[in-house]
């Protein structure tokens, strides 16, 4: 099976202990001279993560997004139709559009070229003027200037007023003046930048990652044609979806069996300030047991939802319930359909265009505009009622799906109550197999969910009992992608996970009750271990997704090899590290040592004059000390933090890998087999 890290974005986290102690500021050299003012774009280079998230692969690709977003804003304003992103062989990336371009004349305040102001000044752009961009995703004017600051070289070309202009920069500072290069028959902007290798951990762009965001933008903006070219291998693809959100819903549900046809709702409403808000929604029902809700505001993925999502959900429940009652589709008085029932198997995409969006927090993940909820609710109530009356067959299928969900909900509630009663009768609601830690402050604690009793035993002996808890699992966790909640609650291992974490699930989910600051999945470094990690991630994604969004979920990285020369032992986590360790040992010893496996050493009567390489078949083969040193010690271990880069892509991959359809899964594995480093057969 392909690596589970293709499902969700992962970031390498190296644990660092805080050994700081209190110092009296009056007894140090801290003075007025210690206060530094960072000029120009120096602040971006000093603290890049504040502006682009991190300096890993995610932050690298965020540079492309920042430039592309400017082109998208031109398209939203009605001035651009074509955007081309090219990954060049020299490691640079260019973004070209056919928008209006950037003014090049002297800026009235700065008295230098406006192009230079835009490229070299934070919070400079047209996003602060309501007349320039009525709707915009980039709100702070820091996008392209941040890209410039974090690039070793950048070239900006502008086609403006019949002329072609160009200016070059290095790490955010101009190296040339704005130069007229000749005539231009069209307007637009081309930005070509080379990421600074001294800033980023990697400067190699991944075309598949770039494509994910471009495809999403093309779904949300059906009038735009976005092209991606990769000169490194000749890859080229165009993204244009005239069907817009309907095409998006069909793409997400590819591999599922649709119960209904996509229903489209679109309209405009005005808030108290009289500014129009555009609402575009498409949804359908499928044979799954989970809701897939994707929401966007000005092309920004609001992963935490907000007022637009709550408005849609309340209107959907109210309108479908009213129709079911009017059409007499629900038999008997005891069965009451709830919002939860109407959301089972629902795939919906909400796209809002708002002039002045108000986001909660700097991450722009939750919409807070109060008037938006009423606008969405009103539009959905009116248009959905008309749709149901005009499409009685589709309406009946929606209600029938909700009735099945309600019956399953009642069965699941009985199972949940049984679990609660059983917990209440026990002396402790925590699972007996859990080896808990002694510290009781969640932020200082972590839990390892460990594959297998044998590995769990080693982990329990090797851990630091003060802050590390161990929950061993026996066998593989149930695939929740293909099971209703009632069946899920019958699974002993899943019940143990729910109980140990303490956050509950569904309507009872409460992240504030999480008992540990880190939830670490620890499984073997082989295909079976990969499968188990995927099953656990599927559970977390479907029932405890806020834990992923909150950065609470991690994947442990156990070593694959142990190398020994004399009394010295070394560990390697992949084939590349193994070869590096071998080279280092040879260099230190000054000899061309022979390399032997454990079997070869045994056959030769125990000759250990060379380098002995042992491959770990599983965590259970490590003794407690080895497991602590390599995988559990915060000073030496490496963890992968799990996050969701694209909710649409994550949902689709989970369905591909864990759903009912075999053919999409086979194609995915064949396409991603090249990324599997270690394969046991």
Report CA-CA distances (Å) from 432 to 240, 451, 492, 493, 505: 54, 16, 12, 12, 20
Residue 573 lies in a domain: no
Residue whose structure tokens are 């309600």: 406
- Local structure of 493: helix, strand or coil: helix
pLDDT, position 35: 38
Would you say residue 192 has pLDDT above 50?
yes
Identify which has the larger pLDDT, 322 or 476. 322
- Per the annotation, the verdict on 90 as an active-site residue is no
pLDDT, position 97: 97
Whole-model pTM? 0.75
> How many Å apart are CA 46 and CA 55, to the nearest integer?
12
Q: Which helix (H) or strand (E) holds 270?
A: strand 263-270
Residue 285 lies in a domain: yes
Using one digit for the tens of pLDDT, what is the confidence trace for 526-557? 778 888 999 999 999 988 988 998 899 999 99
Residues 100 and 199 in one domain: yes
pLDDT, position 418: 58
Residues 326 and 387 in one domain: yes
Residue 426 lies in a domain: no
Options 528, 569, 621, 645, the catalytic residue: 528
Whether the CB-CB separation of 438 and 363 falls below 8 Å is answered with: no
**How many alpha carbons fall within 13 Å on the CB side of residue 74?**
21
Options 97, 253, 524, 655, the catalytic residue: 524
pLDDT, position 628: 94
Residue 63 lies in a domain: yes
Using one digit for the tens of pLDDT, what is the confidence trace for 54-72? 899 989 999 999 999 999 9
pLDDT, position 332: 67
Residues 252 and 356 in one domain: yes
Residue 20 lies in a domain: no
- Kindly report the CATH number assigned to the domain that includes residue 551: 3.40.50.670
Would you say residue 153 has pLDDT above 60?
yes
Classify the C-alpha dihedral 606-607-608-612 as positive or negative: negative
Options 276, 340, 526, 645, the catalytic residue: 526
Grade residue 608 by pLDDT with cuts at 50, 70 and 90: very low
**Domain boundary residue among 172, 206, 239?**
239
- Ranked by mean pLDDT, which of 77-86, 141-150, 355-364, 560-569 comes out on top? 77-86
Grade residue 653 by pLDDT with cuts at 50, 70 and 90: confident
**pLDDT more than 70, % of the chain:** 82
- Kindly report the CATH number assigned to the domain that includes residue 261: 3.30.230.10
pLDDT, position 355: 84
> How many Å apart are CA 232 and CA 625, to the nearest integer?
45
- Please give the structure tokens belonging to residue 425: 């009768």
Residues 123 and 206 in one domain: yes
Whether the CB-CB separation of 295 and 356 falls below 8 Å is answered with: no
Q: Which residues pair with 570 in a beta bridge?
A: 563
Would you say residue 198 has pLDDT above 80?
yes
pLDDT, position 32: 38
What is the mean predicted confidence (pLDDT) over 340-359? 92
- Please give the structure tokens belonging to residue 524: 């073997």
Would you say residue 311 has pLDDT above 70?
yes
Would you say residue 13 has pLDDT above 90?
no
What is the mean predicted confidence (pLDDT) over 203-222? 95
Nearest to 637 by CA among 518, 492, 503, 479: 518
Q: How many residues does the chain have?
A: 681
- Kindly report the CATH number assigned to the domain that includes residue 193: 3.30.565.10
Grade residue 312 by pLDDT with cuts at 50, 70 and 90: very high
Residues 208 and 249 in one domain: no
Would you say residue 19 has pLDDT above 70?
no
Residues 93 and 235 in one domain: yes
Nearest to 102 by CA among 17, 171, 191, 19: 191
Residues 59 and 173 in one domain: yes
Least confident of 77-91, 117-131, 231-245, 524-538: 117-131
Q: In what order do the strands lie in the sheet with 276-285?
A: 263-270, 276-285, 346-353, 292-297, 300-301
Using one digit for the tens of pLDDT, what is the confidence trace for 443-492? 999 999 998 888 899 999 999 999 999 999 987 789 998 888 888 888 88
**Domain boundary residue among 217, 239, 261?**
239
Domain of 506? 431-558+640-675
Residue whose structure tokens are 């504040």: 50
Nearest to 436 by CA among 474, 476, 463: 463
Whether the CB-CB separation of 118 and 141 falls below 8 Å is answered with: no
Phi/psi-derived region of residue 244, left when phi > 0, alpha when psi is between -120 and 50, beta in every other case:
left
Would you say residue 182 has pLDDT above 90?
yes
Our measurement of the distance from residue 378's CA atom to the centroid of its chain's CA atoms, rounded to an integer in Å, reads 32
Grade residue 135 by pLDDT with cuts at 50, 70 and 90: low
Options 451, 493, 549, 655, the catalytic residue: 451
Rg (CA), the chain: 28
Whether the CB-CB separation of 238 and 84 falls below 8 Å is answered with: no
Grade residue 669 by pLDDT with cuts at 50, 70 and 90: low
Grade residue 504 by pLDDT with cuts at 50, 70 and 90: confident
Would you say residue 592 has pLDDT above 70?
no
Using one digit for the tens of pLDDT, what is the confidence trace for 365-405? 789 888 999 999 999 999 999 999 999 999 999 999 999 99
Whether the CB-CB separation of 504 and 437 falls below 8 Å is answered with: no
Would you say residue 422 has pLDDT above 90?
no
Residue 451 lies in a domain: yes
Residues 77 and 142 in one domain: yes
Q: Annotate 388-407 with DSSP letters as a single string.
A: HHH-HHHHHHHHHHHHHHHH
Whether the CB-CB separation of 101 and 189 falls below 8 Å is answered with: yes
Q: Which helix (H) or strand (E) holds 546?
A: helix 545-549
Would you say residue 254 has pLDDT above 90?
no
Phi, psi of 621 (to 5 degrees): -80, -15
- Per the annotation, the verdict on 273 as an active-site residue is no
CB atoms within 10 A of CB 606: 7
**Domain boundary residue among 348, 380, 413?**
413
Q: Which helix (H) or strand (E) holds 611?
A: strand 611-615
Provide the domain count of the chain: 3
- Local structure of 277: helix, strand or coil: strand
> How many Å apart are CA 576 and CA 621, to the nearest integer?
22
Nearest to 182 by CA among 202, 205, 204, 162: 162
- Please give the structure tokens belonging to residue 365: 């993940």
Residues 151 and 296 in one domain: no
Nearest to 176 by CA among 159, 153, 199: 153
| Counts of helices then strands in the chain (DSSP H, E) | 21, 24
Query: Nearest 10 degrees: CA dihedral of 199, 204, 207, 211?
Result: -10
Whether the CB-CB separation of 402 and 341 falls below 8 Å is answered with: yes
Strands in 290-367 per DSSP E: 292-297, 300-301, 346-353
pLDDT, position 139: 43
Would you say residue 672 has pLDDT above 70?
no
Q: What is the average pLDDT score of the chain?
A: 83
Residue 365 lies in a domain: yes
Residues 372 and 452 in one domain: no
Query: 176, exposed or middle or buried, with CB in 10 Å at 0-12, 13-18, 19+?
Result: exposed
- Per the annotation, the verdict on 33 as an active-site residue is no
pLDDT, position 670: 60
- Please give the structure tokens belonging to residue 465: 């009992």
Determine the Cα angle at 212 with ends 9 and 250, to 5°. 115
Least confident of 129-138, 169-178, 257-266: 129-138
pLDDT, position 98: 96
Q: In what order do the strands lie in the sheet with 595-597?
A: 568-572, 561-565, 611-615, 595-597
Would you say residue 274 has pLDDT above 70?
yes
Residue 6 lies in a domain: no
What is the mean predicted confidence (pLDDT) over 109-135? 73
Cα end-to-end span (Å), the chain? 11
Grade residue 6 by pLDDT with cuts at 50, 70 and 90: very low
- Please give the structure tokens belonging to residue 563: 């190398």
Least confident of 6-20, 79-93, 146-160: 6-20
What is the mean predicted confidence (pLDDT) over 574-601? 73
Identify which has the larger pLDDT, 269 or 573. 269
Residues 191 and 59 in one domain: yes
Least confident of 206-220, 239-253, 585-599, 654-668: 585-599
Q: Annotate 173-240 with DSSP letters as a single string.
A: EESS--EEEEE-SS-EEEEEEEE-TTT-S-----HHHHHHHHHHHHHH-TT-EEEEEETTTTEEEEE-
> How many Å apart are CA 534 and CA 10, to the nearest integer?
13
- Local structure of 495: helix, strand or coil: helix
- Per the annotation, the verdict on 508 as an active-site residue is no
> How many Å apart are CA 223 and CA 76, to the nearest integer?
9
> How many Å apart are CA 409 and CA 224, to the nearest integer?
42
Residues 480 and 347 in one domain: no
């Amino acid at each position: 099976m392909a690596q589970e890290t293709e499902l969700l974005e992962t970031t390498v986290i190296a644990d660092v202990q805080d050994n700081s102690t209190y110092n009296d500021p009056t007894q140090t050299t801290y003075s007025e001279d210690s206060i530094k003012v960072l000029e120009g774009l120096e602040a971006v280079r000093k603290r890049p993560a504040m502006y682009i998230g991190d300096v890993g692969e995610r932050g690298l690709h965020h540079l492309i997004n920042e430039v592309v977003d400017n082109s998208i804003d031109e398209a939203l304003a009605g001035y651009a139709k074509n955007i081309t992103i090219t990954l060049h062989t020299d490691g640079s990336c260019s973004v070209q559009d056919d928008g209006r371009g950037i003014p090049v004349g002297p800026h009235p305040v700065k008295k230098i070229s406006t192009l230079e102001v835009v490229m070299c000044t934070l919070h400079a752009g047209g996003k602060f003027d309501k007349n320039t961009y009525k709707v915009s995703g980039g709100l702070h004017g820091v996008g392209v200037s941040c890209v410039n600051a974090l690039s070793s070289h950048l070239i900006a070309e502008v086609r403006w007023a019949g002329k072609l202009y160009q200016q070059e920069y290095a790490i955010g500072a101009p190296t040339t003046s704005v130069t007229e290069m000749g005539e231009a028959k069209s307007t637009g902007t081309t930005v070509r930048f080379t990421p600074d290798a001294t800033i980023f951990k990697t400067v190699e762009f991944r075309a598949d990652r770039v494509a994910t965001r471009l495809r999403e933008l093309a779904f949300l903006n059906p009038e735009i044609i976005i092209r991606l070219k990769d000169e490194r291998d000749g890859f080229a693809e165009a993204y244009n979806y005239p069907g817009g959100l309907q095409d998006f819903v069909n793409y997400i549900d590819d591999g599922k069996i649709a119960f209904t046809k996509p229903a489209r709702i679109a309209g405009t409403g005005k808030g108290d300030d009289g500014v129009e808000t555009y609402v575009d929604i498409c949804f359908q029902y499928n044979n799954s047991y989970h809701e897939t809700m994707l929401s966007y505001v000005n092309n920004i993925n609001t992963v935490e939802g907000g007022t637009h999502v709550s408005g849609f959900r309340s209107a959907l429940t109210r309108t479908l319930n009213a129709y079911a009652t009017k059409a007499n589709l629900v038999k008997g008085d005891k069965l009451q359909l709830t919002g939860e029932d109407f959301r089972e198997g629902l795939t919906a995409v909400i796209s809002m265009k708002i002039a002045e969006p108000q986001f909660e927090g700097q991450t722009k993940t939750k919409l807070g505009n109060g008037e938006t909820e009423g606008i969405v609710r009103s539009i959905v109530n009116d248009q959905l009622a008309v749709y149901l009356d005009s499409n009685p067959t589709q309406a009946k299928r929606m209600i029938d799906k909700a009735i099945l969900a309600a019956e399953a909900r009642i069965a699941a509630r009985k199972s949940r109550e049984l679990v609660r009663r059983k917990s209440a009768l026990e002396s402790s609601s925590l699972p007996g197999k859990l080896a808990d830690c002694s510290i009781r402050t969640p932020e200082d604690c972590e839990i390892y969910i460990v594959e297998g009793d044998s590995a769990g035993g080693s982990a329990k002996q090797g851990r630091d009992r003060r802050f590390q808890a161990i929950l061993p699992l026996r066998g593989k966790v149930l695939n929740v992608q293909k099971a209703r909640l009632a069946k899920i609650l019958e699974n002993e291992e899943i019940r143990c996970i729910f109980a140990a974490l303490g956050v509950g699930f569904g309507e009872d989910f409460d992240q504030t009750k999480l008992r540990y600051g880190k939830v670490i999945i620890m499984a073997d470094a082989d295909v079976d271990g990969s499968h188990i990690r995927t099953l656990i991630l599927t559970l977390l994604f479907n029932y405890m997704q806020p834990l992923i969004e909150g950065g609470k979920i991690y994947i442990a990285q156990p070593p694959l090899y142990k190398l020994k020369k004399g009394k010295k032992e070394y560990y390697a986590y992949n084939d590349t590290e193994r070869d590096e360790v071998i080279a280092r040992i040879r260099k230190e010893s000054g000899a061309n040592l022979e390399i032997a496996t454990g079997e070869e050493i045994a056959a030769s009567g125990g000759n250990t004059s060379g380098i002995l390489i042992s491959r770990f078949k599983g965590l259970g083969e490590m003794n407690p000390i080895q497991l602590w040193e390599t995988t559990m010690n915060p000073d030496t271990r490496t963890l992968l933090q799990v996050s969701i880069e694209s909710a649409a892509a994550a949902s689709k991959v989970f369905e591909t890998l864990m759903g009912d359809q075999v053919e999409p899964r086979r194609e995915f594995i064949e396409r991603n087999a090249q990324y599997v480093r270690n394969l046991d057969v």
